Amino acid sequence: MSSFRVFNQQVRRISIAAAFLMATIVPALVPSLVNAATVTERSIALTSSSKAATGVTYTANFTAVGAAGAFVLDFCNDSPILGQTCTAPTGFDASAAASTTSGFTDVVGSTSKIVVTGTINATDQVSVDITGINNPTTTDPLYARIVTFDTQAHANAYTSTTPGTGVVDDGGVAIAITDTVGVSGAVLESMTFCAAKIAITADCANASANTPVLKLGETVGTTVALDSTHVSTGDVYTQISTNAASGAVVSLKSGVACGGLKRVGASGCDIAPAVTGGISAGDAKFGLKAAADADTGTNPNGTFQATNGYGSSTFLLNWVSGNATGIASPYGDAVLNTNNLPANNKNVKITFGASINNSTPAGLYSADLSMIATGKF
């Protein structure tokens, strides 16, 4: 019924937070560290990249070269290079850091340093979830040094400018903390990701002036509302540039536990996520399609594409009850990727769609969504 007023001058607000993870090749180390190797496949994934976010989980990933008994994460805002001066990021706090990852539950955090104890064998692929971290309160660069040690005692003795003895491997990553749609970083390894309500020009130049706020629905008098005779749609444009050697993945995370559109005052989603079968007029469902958009800028290259079942033909939102995976899970649901390769000024248009049935309760419906971009360097 077209009389159902679902979106009345407001719908949902997409806040984009893009997290980029970049490894830094260390050109030279002090003589005492000359035998240290560089950990590979290193990255740090965040459950939130928003400035001043609290209780964030940082997942540290790396492949060890040599056997070790502990590793240190040291966070700075000026350099990822081992042994150089390290200024603690403003507002960053890891003093409540903890982990339930098997084999790595012995965690000691301080303002900007975390020591994780556990057995690491040569060539092990290490992945540890570290909870209880407060993000910086500024959008300055955030670097992390990953340093493995032969023993816990040597790891505990580590300082930023004097790493000490027992260093086995080391490597650096960089993370962008932002509360804006556009994200960029001027470092050796880089990634820029943004979203807007119009087609994006080169290097996200027009994104911040065109924030991606949608009103889904059909015109009913002087307002906009969903009805049961249409699948109402709206477009969000995205762009990515990254030199990550193994590409980047963009995940969509919903702040609504039931995965769909939630009515004000309701406990569940009267407009459910379109987990199967797409959306037809008269279905009380919400989902998205994703398709490549026209390239912009100088020398666009690479691939930016839909992934994980998403595509241009059928509306979908992957949601699983319990939220272990899918759009409402801690890290969201992967919707786009660069096919494991770098990309430059590549664009994808995301079309959100929704419909209702004749028994969908009247009211205002919304969902807060975040898009998180993660690079593998």
Q: What is the pLDDT of residues 139-198, one digit of tens each?
A: 888 999 999 999 999 999 999 999 999 999 999 998 878 654 433 334 456 889 999 999
Dig out the tokens for 302 from the structure. 């690479």
Q: Per-residue pLDDT for 46 more than 80? A: yes
d(CA 206, CA 185): 17
d(CA 106, CA 69): 11
Residue 106: count other Cβ atoms within 10 Å of its Cβ.
13
Q: Residue 242's closest CA among 164, 316, 177, 302?
A: 302
Q: Which DSSP state fits 32?
A: G
Residue 360 confidence class, pLDDT cut points 50, 70, 90: very high
Q: Per-residue pLDDT for 224 more than 80? A: yes
Phi-psi region for residue 9, left (φ > 0), alpha (ψ -120 to 50) or beta?
left
For 250, phi and psi rounded to 5 degrees? Answer: -110, 125
Residue 78, classed as helix, strand or coil, is: coil
Q: Which residues contact 1 (CB under 8 A, 6 or more apart)?
A: 227, 228, 358
Residue 189's pLDDT is what? 67
Fold (CATH) for 21-175: Immunoglobulin-like (2.60.40)
d(CA 320, CA 266): 20
**How long is the chain?**
377
Q: Residue 41's closest CA among 249, 247, 286?
A: 247
Lowest mean pLDDT of 47-51, 287-291, 307-311, name the range: 47-51
Q: Per-residue pLDDT for 28 more than 70? A: no
Residue 191's pLDDT is what? 86
Residue 83: count other Cβ atoms within 10 Å of its Cβ.
21
| pLDDT tens digits, 315-340 | 999 999 999 999 999 999 999 999 99
Quote the strand ranges of 221-301, DSSP E: 223-225, 232-242, 248-254, 262-263, 272-273, 285-292
Dig out the tokens for 330 from the structure. 């801690």
Q: Which DSSP state fits 156?
A: H
Residue 188's pLDDT is what? 55
Q: Residue 44's closest CA among 172, 181, 193?
A: 172
Q: Where are the domains of the chain?
A: 12-17+181-375, 21-175
